Amino acid sequence: MKRRSFIKSGVALSAVLAAPSWAGVANQDKQREFKISLNPGIIGVKANLAQTLDFAIQYGYEAISPYTQEVMQDYSGSQLEEHKAKMDAHDISYCSTNIPVEFRKDEDTFQEDFRDLKKFCQTMEKQGATRINTWIISSHPDLTYTQNMNVHGQRLGECAKVMEDHGIKLGLEYLGTRTLLNQNRFPFISTMQECRDLIAETGQGNVGFVLDSFHWHCANESREDIQSLSSDEIVVVDINDARAGFTRETLEDGKRELPLATGVIDLKSFMQGLLDIGYDGTVRTEPFNQELNQMEDEKALKINVEAIKKSIQLV
């Protein structure tokens, strides 16, 4: 279940389009240990694994999403080794991919997907990919907070056990938007601290955070909150900006902007927090932005990587 099918996308990129070109990253960001990642689908670019790697090389990305289902279906052992060699030659690593298990619905649905998780993780291991992520809906129509915590902890804990056997970490993303928190009868986790509680509930040491600047902002969190984490606790980072003209309480998850498009989110504090703790994973965007999705591929790829690099330049 993809979040894009759960919430609608939209809004504009005028501030990004008008921004001057960014240059000089080699001289500006020597302190950072994290890598700039490309997930083409999230910016409206249709590409398979080979094309994604070519785009990364061409436009200056440093990591790519692993297309594990594609590798399982279409890649021979020699093709995968050739792909990995090309990645190594250009110093490109893997980012994270979505969990292939639907854990939010009934038990039968969960068990049906869960049966195939081991094969998925085996393929991840062959690729050299080590990170899987998912997001947690912050309310429920029927389950109380405690009931929902128990279900999530049990199911995600089972998934994490399988992943750990193959050297994979699982990242959980809390959704800080108040609109999602209040859309169902029973609120669920929507802050970093509550997500920490869920991580503990799984009982597994290979579970951590997906940290998103948009939800960090909506949850009214700070640089100090990021400093409370260790680098190892963060599996992947998303950086986005919020639409202007809305309060924290009225922002909607599926309508965002690329980093620094509006300046609503304090990305300088967010990025500084990552540097403070020595975060060494990957950073990507997740703007859910209709205008970006409708751009020609070349333009979208350039604007996206430029937005990430400008955010790095802040610190």
CATH number of the domain within which 112 lies: 3.20.20.150
pLDDT exceeds cutoff 60 at 65: yes
Indicate the helix (H) or strand (E) that contains 4: helix 3-6
CA pair distance 122, 187, nearest whole angstrom = 36
Q: Does 301 reside within a domain? A: yes
Show the tokens assigned to 140: 């429920």
What local confidence, expressed as pLDDT, does residue 31 receive? 78
Flag whether the pTM goes above 0.85: yes
pLDDT of residue 243: 96
Provide the domain count of the chain: 1
Q: pLDDT category, 279, cuts 50, 70, 90?
A: very high
Whether the predicted pLDDT of 305 surpasses 50? yes
**Banded pLDDT at 19 (limits 50, 70, 90):** very low
Tens digit of each residue's pLDDT (9 = 90 or more) over 214-238: 999 999 999 999 999 999 999 999 9
Q: What is the rounded average pLDDT for all residues in the chain? A: 92
Name the least confident of 31-35, 82-86, 111-115: 31-35
Asked if 80 and 127 count as a contact pair (C-beta separation under 8 A), the reply is yes
- Six-digit token pair at 284? 């990507």
Q: Which domain holds residue 105?
A: 3-16+33-313
pLDDT digits (tens, 9 = 90+) for 233-263: 999 999 999 999 999 999 999 999 999 999 9
Between strands 139-140 and 97-98, the pairing is unpaired
Q: Is 256 helix (H, G, I), strand (E, B) or coil?
A: strand
Tell me whether residue 67 is in a domain.
yes
Tell me whether residue 11 is in a domain: yes
The arithmetic mean of pLDDT across residues 109-136, rounded, is 98
Q: Are strands 139-140 and 186-187 parallel, antiparallel or unpaired?
A: antiparallel
Asked whether residue 27 is domain-assigned, the answer is no
- Whether 24 shows a pLDDT value over 60: the answer reads no
Do residues 67 and 55 touch, judged by C-beta distance below 8 A?
no
Given pLDDT bands bounded at 50, 70 and 90, which one contains residue 2? low
Residue 234 lies in a domain: yes
Residue 158 lies in a domain: yes
Q: How far is CA 295 from CA 19, 177, 299, 307, in A?
A: 16, 27, 6, 15
What residues contact residue 1 under an 8 Å CB cut-off, 6+ apart?
A: 102, 104
- Tell me the per-residue pLDDT of 134-180, one tens digit each, with 9 for 90 and over: 999 999 999 999 999 999 999 999 999 999 999 999 999 999 999 99
Assigned domain for 28 exists: no
Distance from C-alpha of 203 to C-alpha of 200, rounded to nearest angstrom: 5
Name beta bridge partners: 284: 238
Residue 125 domain-assigned (yes or no): yes
In tens, the pLDDT along 187-203 reads 999 999 999 999 999 99
C-alpha to C-alpha distance for 13 and 290, rounded to whole angstroms: 9
The predicted pLDDT at position 306 comes to 98
User: How does residue 17 score in pLDDT terms, banded at 50, 70 and 90?
Assistant: very low
Is the confidence at residue 264, as pLDDT, over 50? yes
